Amino acid sequence: MWGISQPLSGALADRFGAFRVLSGGAVLLVCACLIAPNIPTYWGLMIAVGLLLAFGTGSGGFSIIMGQVAAQVPAHKRGLASGLVNAGGSAGQFLFAPLVQGLVVLPEVGWTGTFYVWGAIALLILPVSWWLAGGNNAAHTQHAQATHGQSLGEAVKTAFKTPSYILLHLSFFACGFHIAFLVTHLPTEVALCGLPATVASTAIAIIGLANIAGCVFSGWCTSRVRGKYVLFGLYASRAAMILIYIFSPKTDLNFYIFAAALGFTWLATVTPTASITGKLFGTRYLATLFGLKMLSHQIGGFLGSYIGGIVITQFGDYGWMWYADALLAGTAALLNLPIREPRTAA
């Protein structure tokens, strides 16, 4: 649902402005946090978490934020700005995850109180989104004029007729497959190696920390090097790291090194992917066009998690899944080389 919400939210933002979509997402989050603890049934949780929470977070996802950054930041600074925003999302996840865990275990708070706390925090999105979209109306008018009256539907059709856009979809699909497989099945892989569960939790925390640095570095590189070469380097390094991991001794230290190296590339692909999209088609409908890529990313993520589950169930280990993952990462790297990326923004 979160993946589906990305292009839908992007289209709404391109049509009505980011503030309305961000504000609507905040309202959905608050509703989810109120419904979940008060209707603790199957359908109550499906509505609150499966729908409202998914669409609420999607309304403030990468597609909206990257679109706003591209619309309000000069072209030569967009790469670094997008990287900083991307890193901010990772930092928030790293900081708030232990806070949630701490609130849940407190007898005075528990799950119910935690939902209420997050509902209150979600309200802070309203003033922040107002500030973020402060120049949106002027930017929206400017980019609407720049597209010479091109409609959203025409922009999407043009994009899907562009081979470079399709190549970005395919590589981002591989990115989602890779990330979801690892984050879902890393604890099981650690257990299969005979290591304590704390190794998995520590490795995931290391991934989050390394990703902050990786996102900033990726943004810096994207401001100086063509995005397709940044993507090639990120995906190729993933393939190399997975192959090194396969043939390395499975020790605590090696897991941590693998997590740090992998985390450096984790979401670092977002910035150059968004940058190339903006160069190809401009920023007027960037939220929608990048949102569609996020949908491809999440479809890949679903398959990575699902196929990984089938493999471990049928064979008792991940064996060939690691080789398939490395092959997919290598393929994603090669897919970016034929992209015809303009040297300047459209």
DSSP letters along 283-335, please? Answer: STTHHHHHHHHHHHHHHHHHHHHHHHHHHHHHHSS-HHHHHHHHHHHHHHHHH
- Assess whether 13 and 135 both reside in one domain: yes
pLDDT of 101 over the 60 cut: yes
Average of pLDDT values for 261-270?
A: 90
Per-residue pLDDT, 92: 74
Q: Interior CA angle at 96 toward 10 and 238, to 5°? A: 65
pLDDT of 234 over the 90 cut: yes
Instruction: Return the higher-pLDDT residue of 50 and 137.
Output: 50
* Last residue in a domain, options 146, 161, 180: 146
Where residue 63 falls among pLDDT bands split at 50, 70, 90?
A: confident
Max mean pLDDT among 3-17, 58-72, 81-95 falls in 3-17
- Assess whether 326 and 181 both reside in one domain: yes
pLDDT of 143 over the 60 cut: no
Asked whether residue 118 is domain-assigned, the answer is yes
Asked if 202 and 98 touch (Cβ cutoff 8 Å), the reply is: no
Per-residue pLDDT, 141: 46
pTM score over 0.75: yes
Asked if 176 and 297 touch (Cβ cutoff 8 Å), the reply is: yes
Number of structural domains the chain divides into: 2
* Last residue in a domain, options 96, 115, 146: 146
Instruction: Return the higher-pLDDT residue of 70 and 305.
Output: 305
CATH number of the domain that 126 lies in?
A: 1.20.1250.20
pLDDT of 328 over the 70 cut: yes
The 3-state DSSP class for residue 133 equals: coil
